[in-house]
Amino acid sequence: MPTISIFQEDFCGLIGRSASMSDIEQWMPYVKGEVKDVSPDTGEVRVELQDTNRPDLWCVEGIARQIRSVLNKGMTPYAFFSDKKGAKRRIQVAQGMEAVRPYVAACVSLGYAMTPEGLDQCIQTQEKLADAFGRKRETVSIGLYRFASIAFPVTYGLVKPDEIRFTPLGFEEKMTPQEILTVHPKGLEYGSILAGCERLPLLWDSDGQVLSFPPIINSRELGEVQLGDTDLFVEVTGTDLSMVVLALNIFACNLADRGATIESVDITYPYKTEFGTTVTTPLDMNQSQRISLEAIEQALGMPLGSEAIQEALASYGYQVKATRQSVSVALPPFRNDLMHVMDVAEDVAITRGYDSFSPIMPQTFTVGSLSVEEQTSDRIRDLLVGFGFQEIFSNIMASHQELVDRMRIADTEYARLVEVDNVMSQTYACLRPSILPCLLRVEAQSPRAFYPHLLFEVGETAQLDLEANVGSRTTLSIAAISANSGANFSEIHSYLDLLMYYMVWPYELEPVTHPSFLEGRVGRIRCHGHAVGYIGEFHPEVLEAWQIDMPTSGFEFEIRKPEA
């Protein structure tokens, strides 16, 4: 979810009327935006945009366009999408691009002199689109150039990593693409996108001047747009043609909204694309489609009628064609997010305002219930609270040190854990297979809390089980410890015995050896014939590892679903 900066004055210019801060806030539902911060002095508004399917709204021009459309009850189509005269300029795509970065889209923007706010917004849009929509430039990246210096046609082709030299943005000297990948900050940041490519993508003009090394960096000569520049060349390259074209459409509309005249560019491919071998961009990819009014009315729970729905959709920017039998709609060319009639239904609801729909209270009768596991947990919790135990509630993620090393079970069969691959912090690198370490953590951190300490937790644990479909099982366990100067086996056994009595779970203790507990003072708990857990006095080495000075004993066992 991108957060962007817009400026009140700039915004007002784009919607063509004055707007107060509270107006802007009130209109935010139309763009699924949330105002995060307002600076009244500078007129800056920080807006978070929620919809990952509406990259056209990740810029002030797009937000203004959507709101303008609703306020004006519709929008005039952008003429350049239906320009049938054919483009004056061309990009030739070279052989071999299909294996590296297959698609490019471009346009020319004339007659809009770059203002400071215009340039800032252009850069912000370029970054947000390439970063969030283009997956950090992997699928989409964007370049802006000074149009006047470019000799068309432009070639989008491949070069050997050290075949050519040009001056990249941010540097004074000429470098090869290979040098850029190893030295330039952008090369280091985005170079992995081109990993394994023997030849690298490059845009150059008919005079042999380099425009850019996509998706890494522009050339300094052609690709450094400055304030006051009136004519721009815009290109988008990437791996998904629809996304590449959509990003260019958005950029073209943004510049048009600021007063530029947009001219198309022909892209000629030596291979087939879903839009043919010559693609004229910007390109309106949306086709008109019939929608079921009934489906929309049913979904919204309101018989709105054809006219109201048409009006709402037109207001929201759709192109609507109605015949007596049906209604066809098309999204505006800067959007590409219509997958299902429900997407249309939501736009109707947004245009009309969610508050205009009166809620209907649920009428259907259903029986509520808790799961058997939860009911059993609650009974155990009630009993232990009655026995005088304080309930503890822990995180399920913990460190290897806590779960294994401090429990004295390193390199034993008990040390089998579910671990995470992408560790963020060693403190939270594993899922707990047992709750006892969580209770010992509390004891270790609480020597100053007055004694006795009787603690318990009922909760989920993860058992590594390579037989299981997902390689592990989620189990429900009860663990309890007693820490006080007189804590011993007999005391904790009394609590276990009482718990088992009231739960009506006959159990046996089987003498075993367990590294966490003192030899001869530990037992395996067997219930209904299953080994379900352990009870014992913690080994002094375990207590030392936790830096616990108090004798501590405890038990833990898995709560099994009663067998059918």
Partner 1 sequence: MNSPNNTDSLHPLEIQVLRALGKDPQPLTDLQLAQHTELAASQVSMAVGWLLTKQLVSLTSETTTTYVSLTTVGTQFQQAASPPEWILQTVKTAAQEGSSPTVKDLQGTGHFQPTELSRAIGILKKEGVLQLGTGGTLEATGQASATIEALRSLLNRVHEGSRPLDSFASDHQSLLRQYAVKRGNTQEPFRIDDHTERAYCLTDEGRNLLPHLREGAAQEISQLTPELLKDGSWRNVSFRKYSINLRPPRLAVGRRHSYREFLDTVKYKLTSMGFQEMRGELIETEFWDMDALFMPQFHPARAIHDVYFVKNPQKAKTIPEPFLSQVAQVHRDGGTSGSKGWKYEYDSERAKRLVLRSQGTAVSARTLAQNPPIPGKFFSIARCFRYDNVDATHATDFFQVEGIVLGSDINFRTLLGLLQLFATEMAQAKEIRFFPAYFPFTEPSVELHVRHPKLGWMELGGAGLFRSEVTVPLGVTVPVIAWGLGLDRMAMVALGIQDIRDLFTSDLEAVRNMRRQF
Give the shortest CB-189-to-partner 1 separation in angstroms: 17
Q: Pick from 183, 223, 184: which is nearest to 202 by CA?
A: 223
CA distance 72 to 76: 10
Q: At 497, which amino acid appears?
A: D
The answer to whether the beta carbons of residues 240 and 139 sit under 8 Å apart is yes
CA distance 389 to 381: 9
Contacts of 119 (CB under 8 A, 6+ apart): 225, 227
Give the shortest CB-508-to-partner 1 separation in angstroms: 27
Q: Does residue 1 belong to the site contacting partner 1 (CB under 8 A)? A: yes
Q: Does residue 149 belong to the site contacting partner 1 (CB under 8 A)? A: no
Q: Does residue 25 belong to the site contacting partner 1 (CB under 8 A)? A: no
Q: Which is nearer to partner 1, 76 or 422 (CB)?
A: 422
Task: State which of positions 255-314 bind partner 1 (CB under 8 A).
Answer: 298-302
Q: Which is nearer to partner 1, 226 or 425 (CB)?
A: 425
Q: Does residue 424 belong to the site contacting partner 1 (CB under 8 A)? A: yes
Q: Which is nearer to partner 1, 13 or 62 (CB)?
A: 62
Two structure tokens written together for 381: 């919790």
Task: State which of positions 113-132 bind partner 1 (CB under 8 A).
Answer: 132
Report the alpha-carbon angle 252-258-261, nearest 5.
55
Q: Pick from 508, 515, 509: which is nearest to 414 by CA?
A: 515
Report the alpha-carbon angle 539-543-546, nearest 5.
140
Identify the residue among 39, 42, 52, 206 touching partner 1 (CB under 8 A). Answer: 52
Cis? peptide before 303, omega within 30° of 0: no
Backbone angles phi, psi at 209, to 5 degrees: -75, 140
Task: State which of positions 394-423 bind partner 1 (CB under 8 A).
Answer: 394-397, 418-422
Binding map of partner 1 across residues 506-545, x = CB under 8 A, - = no contact: ----------------------------------------
Give the shortest CB-400-to-partner 1 separation in angstroms: 11
Q: Does residue 371 belong to the site contacting partner 1 (CB under 8 A)? A: yes
Task: State which of positions 194-213 bind partner 1 (CB under 8 A).
Answer: none
Task: State which of positions 451-490 bind partner 1 (CB under 8 A).
Answer: 451-455, 460, 462, 464, 466, 469-474
Give the shortest CB-166-to-partner 1 separation in angstroms: 31
Q: Does residue 385 belong to the site contacting partner 1 (CB under 8 A)? A: yes
Give the shortest CB-41-to-partner 1 separation in angstroms: 25
Instruction: State the DSSP string of 37-56.
Output: EEETTTTEEEEEE--TT-GG
Give the shortest CB-348-to-partner 1 separation in angstroms: 9
Question: What secondary structure, in 3-state letters, does 260-305 show?
Answer: CEEEEEEEECCCCCCCCCEEEECCCCCCCEEECHHHHHHHHCCCCC
Q: Does residue 354 belong to the site contacting partner 1 (CB under 8 A)? A: yes
Q: Which is nearer to partner 1, 110 or 410 (CB)?
A: 410
Give the shortest CB-391-to-partner 1 separation in angstroms: 4
CA distance 481 to 459: 15
DSSP-derived secondary structure letter, 389: P
Task: State which of positions 217-246 bind partner 1 (CB under 8 A).
Answer: 242
Give the shortest CB-447-to-partner 1 separation in angstroms: 9
Identify the residue among 84, 85, 324, 448 touching partner 1 (CB under 8 A). Answer: 448
CA distance 105 to 214: 13
How, if at all, do strands 210-213 and 200-204 pair?
A: antiparallel
Give the shortest CB-390-to-partner 1 separation in angstroms: 6
Identify the residue among 41, 207, 367, 564 touching partner 1 (CB under 8 A). Answer: 367
Identify the residue among 26, 39, 50, 426 touching partner 1 (CB under 8 A). Answer: 50
CA distance 481 to 382: 16
Q: Does residue 550 belong to the site contacting partner 1 (CB under 8 A)? A: no
Q: Which is nearer to partner 1, 232 or 548 (CB)?
A: 548
